[in-house]
Amino acid sequence: MDSKTSASPLLEVVDLYTHFDTPRGVAHAVDGVSFRLERGRTLGIVGESGSGKSVLSRTIIDILAKDGSVLNQGEVRFEGRDLMALPEKDMREIRGREIAMVFQDPMSSLNPVKKIGKQITEVLVKRLGMPGAEAKRRAVELIESVGIPDAAQQLDRFPMHLSGGMRQRVAIAIALAGEPKLLIADEPTTALDVTIQAQILDLLRRQQVERNMAVILITHDLGIVAQYTDDVVVMYAGQIVESCSTEELIRRPRMPYTEALMNSAPNLADPPHTRLDAIPGMPPNLLRVPQGCRFADRCPYAAEKCSTEMPALAHDEDSSHIYACWYPLEVKEAVSA
């Protein structure tokens, strides 16, 4: 047995900040986020629109603008190395090879003027140093492996020739091309029909198991979290407000925001694209975040303390379930889905 239980995880984010210096002020898009992810596991990140999920993922893979408007702080430890301290040249080696990404909207994430084959092979040729002919063969295999028919013919087609679901499969093939250890999927199915959603998520899971790849699955949808993730992080206004195993979260949410998300979760009977807008009120303006609990304005349990002091992330004894709330929900029985 390995006695080193604290061996470094695949990814460990420590007190990460990403602020945007805008003409109207500093936007606190990611505000002190910490979490860890073990090899081969799936971490869900869930939260409303604007909570900082995309900014967090783009910070991890370091693709935000480098013009001085983005202020970063904290650590992104990948296999023990702090990516935030890496020079751009070394960081480029990480992107695509170690960490790859799938974006929300396959209509805009593929280059419209580049053939699909080229968009896959450029990873193989530029990053893996494969010769052109071999890269083509490999691209066909990749296209096949993500379930697109007539793989060989697809190489010469442009994204516009494919449906949204097919495009997202191509995007996944691109991400898999570099055989990454971590795949960040930023709402990979939000732009797709429900029937296609399940296919894409199943595909991701199959690939993950086959390749023993870790996945960060970003979503609005707690239903997806419940079905596809091992652990989960709930984000609100740039911060983590609750984090634990998925099972635990579904069974015993402690943070009122998580509860609100659950109550507003779309029913399976709802038409596709029903958005999570059922929580009354608006998230706080990230340019002027309140000093107390950021959910206080909308929280049905809020008391005076909530708007003056920010609750720190804490956990109960004998539990790794962490949450930030002065008045956590009582542990109750399972919330039916």
Ligand X SMILES: Nc1ncnc2c1ncn2[C@@H]1O[C@H](COP(=O)(O)OP(=O)(O)OP(=O)(O)O)[C@@H](O)[C@H]1O
Binding residues (CB under 5 A) for Mg ion: these are 54
Going across the sheet that includes 231-236, the strands are 99-102, 182-186, 214-219, 42-46, 231-236, 239-245, 322-323, 314-315
For 173-197, b where at least 16 C-beta lie within 10 A, e where not — what string? bbbbbbebbbbbbbbbbbbbeeebb
Task: Tell me which DSSP letter residue 10 carries.
Answer: S
Helix (H) and strand (E) counts in the chain:
12, 12
Contact positions vs ligand SF4 (CB under 6 A) = 255-257, 293, 295-296, 299, 301-302, 306, 311, 325-327
Shortest CB 207 distance to ligand SF4, Å: 37
- Residue 61 interacting entry, from Mg ion, another protein, ligand X, none, C-beta within 5 to 8 Å by type: another protein
Shortest CB 230 distance to another protein, Å: 23
Give the CA distances from residue 75 to residues 16, 223, 320, in Å, rounded to whole numbers and listed in that order: 6, 30, 21
Contact positions vs ligand X (CB under 6 A) = 20, 22, 27, 29, 47, 49-55, 187, 220, 286
Query: Which pair of tokens denotes residue 40?
Result: 């081969």
Q: Does 275 bind another protein (CB under 8 A)?
A: no
- Interface positions, 94-153, toward another protein (CB under 8 A): 94-97, 99-101, 103-105, 108-114, 122-123, 126-127
Task: Work out the angle at residue 82's Cα, subtended by the Cα atoms of residues 80 and 84, and round it to the nearest 5 degrees.
Answer: 160
- Is 59 within 8 Å of 72 (Cβ atoms)? yes
Q: Does 22 bind another protein (CB under 8 A)?
A: no
Show the binding pattern over residues 43-82: x = contacts another protein (CB under 8 A), - = does not.
Answer: ---------------x--x-x---x---------------
Shortest CB 26 distance to ligand SF4, Å: 23
- Residue 286 interacting entry, from another protein, Mg ion, ligand SF4, none, C-beta within 5 to 8 Å by type: none
Q: Does 303 bind another protein (CB under 8 A)?
A: no
